[in-house]
């Protein structure tokens, strides 16, 4: 009777632990504690039964979950900013290579709430400035992105799951307290050539009034652990082919830099321009983009 009671206990333990890779270890330990009360032939029977359980468990197919089948996208970190008395921030993350987003869910709605999907398509004549300062027409510039707009409620992190077509994806967004990544920003035709970096204390996008100029230079310095990856001046011009031509002077720093300088001799003050600075934080891996929009000189 003892052997039958042990077999019943053994079967119950095996069923309970059938998905646990530690089952064999626990089973053998249990058998050893009973070994003094068993005869040699009965112990062999129990060991044979345990081996049978191990074979069945090893041959059983793994159960796939929906979370496991979703493709994990790289984590994105951005910085929570509050404008005025607003307690929330609207942030749009643009997905390159995706044509649609659906079934969007947030694992922590107290941190991030999905607010909608935006599609954007843009085409323009595109010009770049070569190393000698000459204007060079590039291929027509166009892009087609789909963006996820989110309401940021507080700092923290949330896993955003969604579908694009028939495939499932999940992306982790980390939200940190906003910080000004610049220690200096000088735009030659703005604020009489004095630094405007303090304008970005609480927000990463600021518009400035400007003076008429055809040559514009920009000098940016990063603060602390921040490094500049790219800086560019973008302007709109009229051309023979289009009245909406885009001119861009851009400089990229592969390993990042604390000081970036760029200039253009083809700036047209009649149109809106912008200075864009892309940075990363070498301490926490976060990224930020500073947008300085340059309004045309006011007409008096």
CATH of the domain at 120: 2.60.40
pLDDT at 82: 59
Write out pLDDT tens, residues 203-251.
888 999 999 888 899 999 999 999 999 999 988 766 554 455 677 888 9
Domain co-membership, 224 together with 140: no
Total domains in the fold of the chain: 3
Domain co-membership, 173 together with 186: no
In a domain, 104, yes or no: yes
Domain co-membership, 72 together with 152: yes
Domain co-membership, 134 together with 213: no
Predicted model pTM:
0.65
Domain co-membership, 225 together with 271: yes
Domain co-membership, 213 together with 161: no
Domain co-membership, 187 together with 286: yes
Kindly indicate the confidence band of residue 64, based on its pLDDT and cuts at 50, 70 and 90.
very low
* Domain enclosing residue 71, as ranges: 66-177
Domain co-membership, 53 together with 100: no
In a domain, 300, yes or no: no
Report, as an integer, the average pLDDT of 159-172. Answer: 93
Give the contacts of 234 (CB within 8 A, at least 6 positions apart): 246, 247, 248, 273, 274, 275, 276
Between 280 and 23, the higher pLDDT residue: 280
């Amino acid at each position: 009777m003892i052997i039958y009671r042990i077999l019943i206990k053994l079967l119950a333990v095996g069923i309970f632990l059938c998905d646990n890779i530690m089952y064999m270890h626990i089973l053998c330990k249990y058998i050893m504690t009973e070994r003094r009360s068993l005869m040699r032939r009965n112990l062999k029977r129990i060991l044979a039964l345990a081996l049978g359980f191990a074979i069945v468990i090893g041959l059983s197919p793994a159960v796939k979950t929906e979370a496991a089948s979703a493709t994990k996208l790289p984590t994105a970190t951005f910085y929570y900013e509050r404008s005025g008395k607003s307690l929330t921030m609207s942030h749009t993350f643009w997905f390159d290579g995706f044509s649609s987003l659906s079934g969007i869910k947030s694992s922590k709605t107290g941190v991030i709430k999905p607010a909608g999907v935006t599609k954007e398509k843009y085409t323009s004549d595109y010009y770049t400035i070569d190393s000698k300062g000459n204007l060079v027409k590039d291929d027509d510039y166009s892009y087609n992105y789909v963006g996820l707009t989110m309401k940021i409620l507080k700092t923290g992190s949330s896993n955003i799951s969604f579908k694009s077509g028939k495939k499932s994806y999940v992306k982790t967004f980390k939200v940190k307290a906003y910080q000004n990544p610049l220690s200096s920003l000088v735009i030659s035709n703005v604020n009489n050539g004095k630094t405007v970096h303090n304008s970005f204390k609480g927000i990463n996008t600021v518009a400035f009034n400007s003076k008429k100029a055809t040559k514009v230079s920009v000098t940016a310095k990063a603060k602390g652990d921040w490094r500049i990856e790219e800086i560019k001046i973008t302007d709109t011009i009229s051309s023979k082919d289009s009245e909406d031509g885009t001119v861009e002077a851009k400089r990229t720093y592969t390993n990042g830099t604390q000081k970036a300088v760029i200039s253009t001799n083809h700036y047209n003050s009649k149109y809106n321009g912008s200075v864009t600075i892309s940075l990363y934080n070498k301490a926490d891996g976060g990224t930020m983009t500073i947008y300085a929009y340059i309004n045309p000189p006011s007409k008096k």
